[in-house]
Amino acid sequence: MPTKKEKKAKSPAAKAVDDWGGSASSSSSRKAKGGLGMGAKIGAGVVALLAAVMLFGGGGNPVKYLDVGDEAVLKKAFFGGEVWAMTCVSSSDAPLPEQVEAVAHRLSSEMSFGAVDCAAKMGSGRTLMQRWKLKKPMGKDEFTMFLSNGVQVTQIDARYLRSEYELVRELRLLALRRPVTAKNTETLREKCWGKPRCLLVLAGGTLEAPVEKALHAVAGHHSRGGKGRTGASADDASAVAFVAMDAAEHRLPFEGYDLGDAIKLRSFAAGDHRAVYFRNASGAPTITALAHKGPLTTEALGAFLRTVSLDSDAEPHAGLVDTGVHRDALGIYRRKKAKKPKKPKSDKPSKFSADAAAAEAAKKAKKPETAEELKAAFKEQREKEQAKRAKMDEGNSLFEEGDEDEGDDEEDDEEDEEEAVAERAPAPAAPRLDMSRLLTPRDFERIARLKQLQQEAGGLRGAKRRRAEEALLDTDDLPSALEVEGEAVDTLDIEGAKARRNATREEKLANTKAGRTDHSEKKGFQSKKTGGLSNKEKKKNQPFSMIRKSNSVKSKIRHRDDHARADARRAKKMFKGRVKRGAA
């Protein structure tokens, strides 16, 4: 038998493994056979990666120049259902802005980019600026850019063209296809019922983001016209129009009737979105319709439109229901809103009887004429306001006495009832002065003056009016009722000390002020300010940077430093302790 050494000598040598997991001899054998080594493979991968980057990132130009004279290319770009971002240039050799080229490389997979001469005339004799009502750029560095999403053409605002981030964000928002919003019958007849095919979205509220994305995806597919149609319908290139209507505000004429049930239209509910497909075949006297029963998702709407829209005028879809109405006679109606319940009328009895109410109305209708009547009216009004305030203060008092006897409570109730009856009764009219004697020219002047003051007080409101009425009652420049031609005197002049003792605080204060000497005449040199700030006030609000080198600030700093040094010297002299060594 062979020994272990002999077997080991006869066995082949072990294969050496390199750092990449392959044998060291394999590379030499593959080289001999004409294969590639690991280094060559890595180099080939790097070259392929660079080629892909050059192709998609910066090698190929995704912006295509469109010729204005080629009508077929323009129709495909604007009405083909694809999303195109156009930049206006002067010629095909003109360089594009840097942000446009960067965005084109970044969004080349989401939309198509093109450059076109917007100032050149088309076959119709108009330019693209006139056709789509585009605005010219204001500055030299600005340019015009617009986007066509297959539904409408929108110019991009100049503020979004300044940076790549803003431009990418705006292009993605504008590329989202939204249905046209219809608010009246004329818009629906033009945008929906006048088209061969239309999907009307009955929004039960605000459309959510998933619903908008579903409509965007479905509109992008069915707005190209004729895609997916076979047979006789393949020649029909009409697109499906997408229109939205607020179902909370308006309703279709057949909602809730037998025709609505035949179309399979659900009843309205807040927040529930519905869709109705309308077909207006050429030459047909009436319009047909069919409601979508499922949710507004991409799959459900796509399946529904694939079923009903892939037909022709000669052979329309069999599931469509004839409405029996021409498109020019079809309209929408405003939905009735639930009325708020009216508040029930109060069954409480009237505050006054019929006679008292008539007397009160007559009293209000009668206007005071003489000076005495004016003064009595103002006095009565002031007393009523004071009584009302006192009553409110009593009701809101926090210090009410609650330990009174029952007899006292009954007496107070009786007094309150008597006061209430006295308040309800009409106040006796003041005695007319002209019934007792003849009026003099002085009386007529007084009456005219009081009427003027009353008119001035009537034009005021709130506290100003109350003060004016009090001033009218306390007029000292007008003669009193008893002071007539020097025959009578005022009772206050006779009472003397008693009147001063019974006077209120306001009357005493007014009497004290009346006896003071007016020193305003001696201050004639002090003129009153008419407006603006004084120099002193301006100096307070002056910025520190303007006054930091002024003498006042420098003196303050100098005094501060002097005081600091003096305090340091004083503290050093007053220190009587000992500082430890090594202490911080």
Better-predicted residue by pLDDT, 192 or 494 = 192
Q: Which two tokens stand for residue 561?
A: 């430093």
Q: Taking 80 as the threshold, does the pLDDT of residue 168 lie above it?
A: yes
- pLDDT-derived band of residue 569, with 50, 70 and 90 as boundaries? very high
DSSP string, 190-210: IIIITSSEEEEEEESSSPPHH
- Higher pLDDT residue, 51 or 412? 412
pTM: predicted TM-score of the whole model, two decimal places: 0.40
SS3 517: coil
Lowest-confidence pick of 203-217, 281-295, 416-430, 565-579: 416-430
pLDDT at 317: 83
* Per-residue model confidence (pLDDT) at position 338: 65
The confidence score (pLDDT) of residue 116 equals: 92
What pLDDT was estimated at residue 383? 87
Average pLDDT value for residue range 308-327: 84
pLDDT digits (tens, 9 = 90+) for 499-553: 667 788 888 888 888 878 776 666 555 566 677 888 888 888 889 888 889 998 9
Q: Specify the higher pLDDT residue, 339 or 547.
A: 547
Instruction: Determine the Cα–Cα distance for residues 510 and 515; give it in Å rounded to an integer.
Output: 9
Instruction: Give the model's pLDDT for residue 526.
Output: 58
pLDDT at 452 over 50: yes
Query: Does residue 219 have a pLDDT over 90?
Result: no
Q: Which of 50-59, 203-212, 431-440 has the lowest mean pLDDT?
A: 50-59
Residue 165 has pLDDT above 70, yes or no: yes
Q: Tell whether the model's pLDDT for residue 484 goes beyond 50.
A: no
Per-residue confidence (pLDDT) for residue 148, from 0 to 100: 87
Q: What value does the CA radius of gyration of the chain take, rounded to a whole number of Å?
A: 49
Kind of pairing, strands 84-88 and 333-334? unpaired
- The CATH classification of domain 180-334, taken from the options 1.10.260.40, 3.40.30.10, 3.90.870.40, 3.40.50.1370: 3.40.30.10
pLDDT at site 401: 45
Report the range of poorest mean pLDDT among 107-116, 275-284, 338-347, 471-480. Answer: 471-480
* Architecture of the domain defined by 61-175: 3-Layer(aba) Sandwich (3.40)
Give the model's pLDDT for residue 563: 95
Least confident of 145-154, 250-259, 457-466: 457-466
pLDDT for the residue numbered 451: 83
Helix H or strand E segment including 292: strand 288-292
How far apart are the C-alpha atoms of 180 and 192, rounded to whole Å?
9
Lowest-pLDDT choice from 16-25, 67-76, 211-220, 494-503: 16-25
pLDDT tens-digit series, residues 229-261: 555 555 566 678 889 999 989 989 888 888 888
- As a whole number of angstroms, the distance between CA 582 and CA 572 comes to 20
- Position 76 scores a pLDDT of 83
pLDDT at 235: 58
**CA 524 from chain center: how many Å?**
56
Tell me: pLDDT of 214 over 80. Answer: yes
pLDDT at residue 2, rounded to an integer: 57
Domain map of the chain by residue range? 61-175, 180-334, 369-384+436-506
Rounded to the nearest 10°, the torsion over CA 501, 505, 511, 514 is 170
Q: Which amino acid is at 173?
A: L
Q: Do domains 61-175 and 180-334 have the same CATH topology?
A: yes
Q: Per-residue pLDDT averaged across 120-125, rounded?
A: 88
